[in-house]
């Protein structure tokens, strides 16, 4: 009788467990990125893949395709919307053509440090942006850090705001980036990231703007001599999944993806910040000449960019911009205590 009772209990427990395990099926998500295989972004994708596999008993996996092998940010995001690619991690600026409020994150000279950005992106404002993505065929799983952007060029050192005038600089394919750098007197040239190294090598452009981690990992120092710590924008990536892929997952599978994404987000921020701390030293070692704009010259940058801030504050929605600045003010108030 005892053994019969145990058998019945075991059968009931198995029946209860079966629906959960049955909800986890075999999946392999292709994750395309434009950056190199050794960049912190790529490391974070691999971390996501490890967590995904561990949490699903090996049934759910993610495969990294780096260095633009599946396209650039714009084309890969389009592929997600069409359901022909499962995941990518584009710069948030590339999403503003689909959802204008995303552009507010790239308004020049907005954030003072990374912790302020974390507070805004992880708080109500950032989550509100992510909630807009499903209507465009995308699911946002979190914001990853790219970092503060700086200008490099092959022609001359930048010691003051006016030194930027006349440089032909590659920028992200975004009207905000174009207007920002045209306002600073440069010849802003939109171009996919995957074409940038060759363009600088051949002299098609004089330079570009990106955070130190990208400048180092992409070996831009081989074709760029000068780097100015302009900190003109903070840049975030968005970990995206195709909504078609997401809708094909069970609730249990979706939960696993979300949990793995959150752990990967924390890993990515920690990893890229550590990498960025050492990147400037490494860039000096390999021969880049690094300058920093004095406070007075930063003020001149802000003055030159005021029309851009006014224009895009309206374009992205005055309510949106006001909401973001309100969250930023709260973050600064918390940081000050």
Residue 167 has pLDDT above 90, yes or no: yes
CA distance 116 to 98: 25
Q: Which of 80, 38, 88, 100 is nearest to 63 (CA)?
A: 88
- Helix (H) / strand (E) element for 23: namely none
104: DSSP letter: G
Domain residue limits, the chain:
2-336
Confidence of residue 21 (pLDDT cuts 50, 70, 90): low
User: Tell me: domain 2-336, CATH 3.30.70.1400, correct?
Assistant: no
Q: Which of 9, 86, 50 is nearest to 259 (CA)?
A: 50
Q: What is the mean pLDDT of the chain?
A: 93
107: Cα within 13 Å, side-chain hemisphere: 28
What residues does 187 pair with on adjacent strands? 168
Question: For the chain, where are the E strands, in sequence order?
Answer: 27-32, 60-65, 87-88, 138-153, 168-171, 187-190, 207-210, 226-242, 289-292
* Residue 221 vs residues 59, 96, 183: alpha-carbon distances, Å: 41, 30, 26
pTM above 0.85, yes or no: yes
pLDDT at res. 333: 87
Residue 16 has pLDDT above 50, yes or no: no
Q: What's the pLDDT tens digit per position in 246-295?
A: 999 999 999 999 999 999 999 999 999 999 989 999 999 999 999 999 99
Question: Where does residue 122 rank: exposed (0-12), middle (13-18), buried (19+ CB within 10 A)?
Answer: middle
Residue 331 has pLDDT above 50, yes or no: yes
Confidence of residue 336 (pLDDT cuts 50, 70, 90): very low
Confidence of residue 22 (pLDDT cuts 50, 70, 90): low
């Amino acid at each position: 009788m005892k053994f019969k009772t145990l058998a019945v209990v075991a059968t009931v427990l198995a029946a209860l467990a079966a629906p959960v395990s049955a909800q986890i099926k075999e999946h392999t998500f292709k994750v395309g990125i434009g950056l190199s295989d050794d960049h912190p972004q790529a490391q974070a994708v691999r971390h996501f893949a490890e967590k995904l596999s561990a949490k699903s008993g090996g049934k759910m996996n993610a495969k990294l395709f780096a260095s633009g092998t599946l396209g650039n940010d714009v084309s890969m995001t389009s592929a997600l919307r069409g359901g022909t690619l499962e995941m990518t991690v584009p710069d948030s600026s590339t999403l503003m053509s689909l959802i204008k409020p995303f552009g507010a994150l790239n308004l020049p000279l907005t954030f003072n440090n990374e912790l302020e950005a974390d507070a805004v992106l992880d708080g109500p404002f950032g989550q509100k942006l992510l909630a807009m993505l499903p209507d465009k065929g995308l699911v946002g799983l979190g914001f990853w850090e790219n970092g503060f952007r700086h200008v490099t060029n092959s022609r001359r050192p930048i010691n003051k705001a006016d030194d930027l005038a006349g440089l032909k600089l590659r920028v992200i394919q975004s009207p905000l980036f174009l207007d920002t750098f045209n306002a600073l007197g440069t010849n802003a040239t939109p171009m996919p990231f995957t074409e940038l190294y060759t363009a600088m090598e051949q002299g098609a452009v004089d330079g570009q703007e990106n955070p130190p981690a990208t400048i180092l990992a992409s070996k831009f120092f081989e074709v760029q001599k000068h780097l100015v710590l302009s900190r003109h924008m903070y840049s975030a990536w968005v970990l995206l999944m195709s909504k078609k892929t997401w809708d094909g997952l069970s609730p249990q599978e979706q939960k696993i993806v979300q949990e793995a994404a959150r752990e990967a987000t924390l890993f990515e921020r920690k990893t890229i910040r550590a990498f960025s701390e050492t990147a400037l030293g490494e860039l000096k070692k390999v021969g880049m000449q690094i300058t920093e704009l004095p406070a007075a010259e930063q003020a001149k940058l802000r003055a030159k960019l005021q029309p851009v801030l006014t224009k895009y504050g309206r374009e992205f929605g005055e309510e949106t911009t006001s909401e973001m600045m309100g969250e930023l003010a709260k973050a600064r108030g918390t940081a000050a205590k």
